[in-house]
Each structure stands twice: as structure tokens, then as C-alpha cells.
Structure 1
Amino acid sequence: MRPPRPHAPRRAGYARSARTVAALLALSAPLTGCGGQSPGTNAPAPVTRFTENGVTVALSVSDWQASKGTLTAVFTPEEGFHLYSAELPATGVEGVGRPTTMKVAGALTATGAPKAGAQVRDIALPGVDAPVPVYPDGPVTLTLPVRAGADGEASVLFGYASCSTDQGCTIPVTDRPVQLRVTAAGATLAAP
């Protein structure tokens, strides 16, 4: 049996499995529009999403009150792929992997660290002496509390890389921006 190639780049433009496409369509069905959620409503927070290098990222803004709110990003890699821990160093472990990140710039400031909704596990990779922290295969949710400093433009910057134990890795994404318009009343997501 040939050992997996954990850091061999894959092409970004490959076909999605029917199961992954169905899951993404189910996520997007109840969500329309791209504005911020109104305080006190029970409607789902509007979502904007993008897909790059084998991972779909869906971003929403919720709980907006008194110029503060929460950014929620769901990172969904292709079936059978995992993402690296948000705690991974920026250059990976011995050069392998990139952290799953969500940062803000412009009119928004983070009021805490991003929190992941998945448990980290360590894996051993051929040619890497130290264990590498990853999330289980499948979607990972990061939340980030934010505050608006003033009305204006803001960016949410995403970083990640996905890997499969038998199919290799995708090309890492670094500081991929999503634009927002921020006011005291809320943050409006830009159309993808």
C-alpha cells in the first residue's frame, strides 16, 4: 500500500460529489438576501458564501445590538477532507498545513478569539515528526465576536487548507476577503 501524500497540491477545479452539492443546497434553501439580521427577529441570519480550493465558506452576522455582533463562518470541505486547527502555527507544522482562520479589518474589531465548534485531533503524517492538529473530516464552524468602531467598510479575511489522507491536499487560501458595510444598526454582507 502506498503511503498518502499529505501535502501534494490538488487542482482547485474538480467535480463535487452529489452528496456535498445536496448538503450545500439544503443549507442555502432557507436563506435569502445579503443584509444584516434585524435585532429581535427570529429569521435566520442572511448568509453570503464562496467556494475556493475545495472548501465552501458560508458567513453570517447575528446577534447585532449596540454596535456588537457575532460572525459565524461554516467551512465545508469536499467529502473526505479535513481542515487544520485554528491553533496551528501560520506556517503549519514542519511546513505542513495552514490554520483555519477568520480575521476582521476596517470598521470591525474582534472582541475575542475565534472559537471552533469541532474538537481537534492530532494525526501523524509521513515525513513529519510532530503531530499535526486537525478537525474531523467535514464542516467546521468558527464564531468571532465583533464590534463596530464606526460606520464604514469592513473585511472578513479567511484562511484555510483542506487535506484528505488518501487524496492529498488543496492549495492553501490566505486572507480571502468578504466585504461588509457596517453601521450601528448592523453589518450588511456583500453579495458574493
Structure 2
Amino acid sequence: MRRPRTNPPRRVWHARRARPAAALLALTALTACGGQPPAADAPAPVTRFTENGVTVDLSVSAWQASKGTLTAVFTPEDGFHLYSTELPATGIEGVGRPTAMNVTGALTAEGEPKAASKVRDINLPGVDAPVPVYPDGPVTVTLPVRAGADGDATVLFGYASCSTREGCTIPVTDHPVRLRVTGDGPRLAAP
């Protein structure tokens, strides 16, 4: 049973941080920790990490002829929402941070990240413009990518989660996941 939170501002200053080594889990670690194996047609998980109240599962699908799709499922704690991928980098009047997935190194993006969830606007006290967010719960973001050659690549994640009752967590900016790209597609790089 979860203890109720009583002090939202304190949450911001004491946000949980995952240890960097824990951020690099292979598929076997996912299933060994109670995760369900992927369905036959689902993308195979590459890694999972949790930072500041959000768990991110990264997978690769439809890899063919040096192209494929990175899929990230961002799962905030119950009752928390994430901000739109379209939100400016510094938010709206300083409020919020976009849900982001970018690549560097041996992978290049072949488009913009796209979220499967619909955006809704919320009005916040002290903010003149509406702020675009996703409904509370998981958000799936896809990014089409191409490999220029075999080599190392990094996927950089950014996000912030907030709750109308409990406040916000500290935003995450450029959380790295390192991959090794070969003709068979991206795989988790050795730590």
C-alpha cells in the first residue's frame, strides 16, 4: 500500500534518481524482473530506466535495410501527466518541458518524434497561455531512424511529469541510452 503524499513542494527537491548503471537493462533483465515477454509482433525491448518518477522502455521495431523505428513508452507514476512533444524546449512561460527523444552518432532521425496519445490543453494559475499535455498515464513516442554505418549511437530522452494534486518532478534533460548499431539493428551497448 502506498503512503499518501502530503507535501508536494518537497517532492520536487527530493525527486528519485536512478543509478546510471541501472539504466542499462537488457531484455533478459526486463523479463527476470517480472516484466512480460513481448508479444510476437511487438517490438523487442532494448532497455528500461526510471528517473524522476517516469519509467521509459525503449525498443526497436521494423528494422530493415538500415532503417527502423525507435519506440519509447514513457510511464509516469499514477496520477501524473507528461507534456506534449510539441512544447517549446523551455515550456510555456517557463512551465513544463517537452517529452523528447533524439538520436546522435551512427543513427539519424528520419522525421520528428510522434506520440500516440492525444494532446489536451490545461490552464494553470499564473500562466496566460494554455499548456499542452497528454492524459495521465503512459505515452508511446515513435521516431523513425536510419543507420549511416555500424557504430555507436546515443538516444537522448527528455521529459517532465506533473500532477494537479502533487506538483511536479524535476525535469529530465538528455538522459542518454547508448546503443551499438550493426547491420542487424541497434542493440544496447556494453556499459
Does the pair score TM above 0.5? yes
TM norm structure 1: 0.81
Question: RMSD of the alignment, in Å?
Answer: 2.4
1:11 and 2:21 are equivalent in the alignment: no
TM norm structure 2: 0.81
1:29 and 2:36 are equivalent in the alignment: yes
- Note closer, same or farther for the CA distance 1:96–1:44 as it changes in structure 2 (3 Å cut): closer
- Note closer, same or farther for the CA distance 1:84–1:191 as it changes in structure 2 (3 Å cut): farther
Q: What does residue 160 of structure 2 align with?
A: 161
Task: Say which SS state the counterpart of residue 127 (structure 1) adopts.
Answer: coil
Gaps of 5+ in 2: 1-7, 18-29
Listed as ranges, the matches of 1:103-122 within 5 Å are: 103-122=102-121
Letter of the 1:119 partner, please give it: K
Q: Distance in 1 between matches of 2:173 and 2:167?
A: 19
Q: What does residue 184 of structure 2 align with?
A: 185
Gaps of 5+ in 1: 15-23, 32-40
Deviation >6 Å, runs of 4+: 24-27
Letter of the 2:103 partner, please give it: V
Query: 2:43–2:60: 8 Å Cα contact kept in structure 1?
Result: no
Query: 1:158–1:175: 8 Å Cα contact kept in structure 2?
Result: yes
Identity of aligned residues (%): 76
Letter of the 2:69 partner, please give it: T
Q: What does residue 84 of structure 1 align with?
A: 83
Q: Distance in 2 between matches of 1:65 and 1:140?
A: 25
Aligned length: 169
- Highest RCO, 1 vs 2 (Cα 8 Å, sep ≥ 6): 1
Query: 1:48–1:190: 8 Å Cα contact kept in structure 2?
Result: no
- Note closer, same or farther for the CA distance 1:27–1:140 as it changes in structure 2 (3 Å cut): farther
Q: Distance in 1 between matches of 2:190 and 2:36?
A: 16
